Amino acid sequence: MMKCLKPVGIVGTGSCLPERILTNSDLEKIVDTSDEWITTRTGIKERRISDDKTATSDLATCAALRAMESAGVVAEDIDLIIVGTVTPDMAFPSTACIVQDNIGAVNAAAFDLEAACTGFIYGLSVGEKFISTGQAKTVLVIGAETLSKICNWEDRNTCVLFGDGAGAAVLREVEEGSGIMSTVLGAEGWKGKALMQPAGGSRMPASHETIEGKKHYIHMDGSEVFKFAVNIMAQAARKVAEKVGIGMEQINYIIPHQANIRIVEAAAKRLNFDMERIYVNLDSYGNMSAASIPVALDEAAKAGKIVKGDNVLLVGFGAGLTWGSCIVRWSI
Ligand code: ACO
């Protein structure tokens, strides 16, 4: 027997960024780089960096409270908290459980989800299933990172790219014909070595050698990730539009993962999609991994770039390598 699934949408968003700004000219004093190189190769001008006392859960909590306020929900309403992150406060307890405690969501289940920069889209997809199948009524999905804590500040290939921040969304049942129309998720695990934090897990537990070898930092084959990203962004966008049964011309707005302006522009070109209708904030924040998409979504919604009834396409890629896309018919 076919079960009637409930339509699920985003009913509130929030974001939170550390106050400290690190500009490209600040970076010129730390590594052998230049504002000109970073701007032309990436589009990034500055990024936010958390202080020593701030962990991922602090940014996640702040973004969550803002999303809850915008959705008009209280902590007791929340049935599930999902945090997408590659920079959890610690291996366990999960950052989601720490957020649960911080906000007092006593009725919630809570877990972290690790799909790197695609974490928020993966989280939306999972959260949607919990509500559509009647397992939960209110789900909080958060993407939060403090990548500055795992950057090698002596490696110009990586440290110029990343920043810290958090974004959150509250999911609930919405009107028929609106909300999350579909998600498409994928992974190419065989390309995983292109982007990794080699040590600190069970394969390479922390030791004096791993610390001396700087193996707790981000290691990246930039050009490999670049090639993957350029192809997958356009493919993932097309796939989800096909699944929903609409053409790219029916997409009102795209919120892409904010890794590099060249990746976003290449995807726009392949999709023949106007850059004016693609949200870009990577110039201000750099790549915040799982936080990039929800922060951009929150900013775009609050700036009135997305209005009720719009088809909003979220698309991203990340370590794993993972990728994902989602179309949300905006319902608020
Ligand atoms: N400043 C100055 N020179 C630099 C810097 C820097 N910050 N970084 C690298 N260079 C040098 C390199 O050493 C190299 O010099 P060489 O030719 O003498 O060896 C030269 O610049 C060119 O380097 P390339 O790697 O060819 O530069 P490219 O144009 O590919 O840009 C970049 C590099 C920006 C990293 C690009 O490959 C990229 O954006 N890749 C995707 C990365 C990405 O999106 N990662 C995040 C994934 S999301 C996640 O899950 C965390």
Strands 109-113 and 164-173: unpaired
CATH architecture of 180-329: 3-Layer(aba) Sandwich (3.40)
Residues of the chain with pLDDT > 90, as a percent, come to: 98
The per-residue pLDDT for range 232-283, each reduced to its tens digit, is 999 999 999 999 999 999 999 999 999 999 999 999 999 999 999 999 999 9
- Pocket lined around ligand 1, Cβ cut-off 6 Å: 33, 37-38, 41-42, 116-117, 156-157, 160, 195, 220, 222-223, 225-226, 229, 259-260, 287, 289, 318-319
Has this prediction a pTM greater than 0.95?
yes
- Ligand 1: distance of its center to the CA of 165 in Å? 22
| pLDDT average, residue stretch 79-89 | 98
Domain(s) labelled CATH 3.40.47.10 in the chain stretch across: 8-178, 180-329
- Cα(238)–Cα(250) distance, rounded to whole angstroms? 12
Q: Read off the tokens for 271.
A: 């999709």
Which ligand 1 atom is at minimum distance from the Cα of 157?
Answer: 8
The per-residue pLDDT for range 40-62, each reduced to its tens digit, is 999 999 999 999 999 999 999 99
Class of domain 8-178: alpha beta
The per-residue pLDDT for range 119-164, each reduced to its tens digit, is 999 999 999 999 999 999 999 999 999 999 999 999 999 999 999 9
Q: Is the pLDDT of residue 39 over 70?
A: yes
